[in-house]
Amino acid sequence: MASGNGSNFEAIVQAINTGRLGAEIPLLVVNNKNCGAQQRADRFGIHLEVVDHRSYPNREALDRQLVSLFQSHQVDVVVMAGWMRIVTDVLVKAFPERLVNIHPSLLPSFRGLDAVGQALKAGVSISGCTVHIVTTELDAGPILAQAAVPVFATDNHDSLAKRVQQQEHVLLPATLQQNAHRWRQG
């Protein structure tokens, strides 16, 4: 699942293509038509579904549609790789312990939107990223892995965000591979 540029999605695809991640991607769901993630899916020949959240009366209706799509494509694990929507218990309960998110902070610090900006405003010396299991509480599920990124005195939002994202691209596929035993069917 992605909402924007899709660089974490591409990192997963590259990890699969190079043998670092033993997985298949049956589809990518985006909620913003023509976003970068959609273009990346087209480039890699990965099936794409656009599910525009603005077309649904509430979050639960959106999540019911997502569950239906994932089930129809026999998805085992759902990865929120830049999905900028809060999910409900409809999706969480359909994929218990199998809904994974990457967040650009060292959780539990700086939950929610603009974690990089929150870190800079707080004046921390270390930021980073976290891969965690999604629960109904925002960015509060069990942590699977984290990577630290130093915050330099010269950092601005763009420079820190870029270094955090570089770590996300390494951490997310590696964490998925390390935890694959959790999600194997059968």
Please report whether residue 184 resides in a domain. Answer: no
Calpha distance 108→85 (Å, rounded): 19
pTM as predicted: 0.96
Which member of 47, 53, 73, 103 is catalytic?
A: 103
DSSP assigned state of 142: P
Separation of alpha carbons 63 and 111, rounded Å: 21
Structural domains counted in the chain: 2
DSSP β-bridge partners for residue 21: none
In this structure, the answer to whether residues 149 and 78 fall within a common structural domain is no
Q: What CATH code is carried by the domain that includes residue 158? A: 3.40.50.170
Same domain, 68 and 138: no
Q: Give tens-digit pLDDT for 41-90.
A: 999 999 999 999 999 999 999 999 999 999 999 999 999 999 999 999 99
CA 47 to chain centre: 18
Residue 186 pLDDT > 50: no
pLDDT per residue over 84-122, tens digit each?
999 999 999 999 999 999 999 999 999 999 999 999 999
**Statement to judge: residues 66 and 54 lie in one domain:** yes
Range of the domain at 117: 100-178
Active site residue 47: no
